[in-house]
Amino acid sequence: MIRPDKEFVGLKNYIDLFMNPVFYKVLKNTFLYILILAIVNCAIPYIFAFVCHFVFERFKEFYKIAIFMPAFISLVVGSMIFMWILNPLSGPVALLLRNFSITLPVWNITEGLAIVVISLITSWRVFGYNFIILYAAVSGIAPDVIEAAKLDNVPLYKVFKDIVMPMSSATGLYIFVITTVMGLQYIYTPISVLTKGGPNDGSSNLLYLSYHEAFVVFNSGNSAAISMVTIILFAIFIVILFKFVESRVHYENE
């Protein structure tokens, strides 16, 4: 693989890639991972942060400490623990479900399910971090604005949608981008520990495919092509994001 003299084959790797059905499957998976992560780890922590700060009167500290904890644990460790917890034969979840006569499907060989489970395991870790960061942003909003809204009797969800969200959008944007990065890169670890690309590349994503091509099949040309395609795709993503979203983000000094 690391031969000093490589044959120049022009665009062959790229052509092979675009004609390979696995590429499109993996592309779809990548998108799915990011989608699930965005919903579970952007939308929900945002709402939770808002509720924790504005709705709750007690127990705030406890919730913050507890929710943030898993963020400090290695994903390798987390994947391994979850491997045991979600073991379809003897794991606690399976045993518990058996009491309700539900059998836990063998998720690591079930195509759709593998992606969902891996997303959730990654979410377990990412949720806390996003929650805390968003909580910081939400609690940093000038209280006078909120007071004014209270005086005008603005309903809670409106306060969230029209005041809190826009004013903390700088952080919101950060969280969204970081979560996308995690959807791409972090997810490699659970895939590697639990399914190795999954049933028929069913749980593989762009990153894992790149790794697989380089280190399992020893096809570094393909791997590099995949990496380049990934970079270009996400470069476009960032450009679009910043053009359309960032202009609406509120920064204090503009």
- Per CB under 8 A, which of residues 122..151 are in contact with another protein? 124, 127-129, 132, 135-136, 139-140, 142, 150
- Cβ at position 65, least distance to another protein in Å: 6
- CA gap 172, 50 in Å, rounded: 12
Applying CB under 8 A, the span of 16-24, 31-39, 104-112, 220-228 interacting with another protein comes to: 220-228
| 206 interacts with another protein by CB under 8 A | yes
| 216 interacts with another protein by CB under 8 A | no
Q: Could you give the C-alpha distances from 74 to 90, 181, 190, 231, in angstroms and in order? A: 24, 17, 11, 26
**Span 156-175, contacts to another protein by CB under 8 A:** 156, 159, 170-171, 173-174
**Span 174-203, contacts to another protein by CB under 8 A:** 174, 177-178, 181, 184-185, 188-189
Contact 176, 199 (CB under 8 A): no
Taking the least distance from each CB to another protein, the nearer of 111 and 163 is 163
- Cβ at position 105, least distance to another protein in Å: 19
| 106 interacts with another protein by CB under 8 A | no
Contact 185, 207 (CB under 8 A): yes
| 240 interacts with another protein by CB under 8 A | no
DSSP class per residue in 109-159: GSHHHHHHHHHHHHHHHHHHHHHHHHHHHHHTS-HHHHHHHHHTT--HHHI
Applying CB under 8 A, the span of 10-18, 33-41, 195-203, 214-222 interacting with another protein comes to: 214-222
**Span 18-47, contacts to another protein by CB under 8 A:** none
- CA gap 60, 49 in Å, rounded: 10
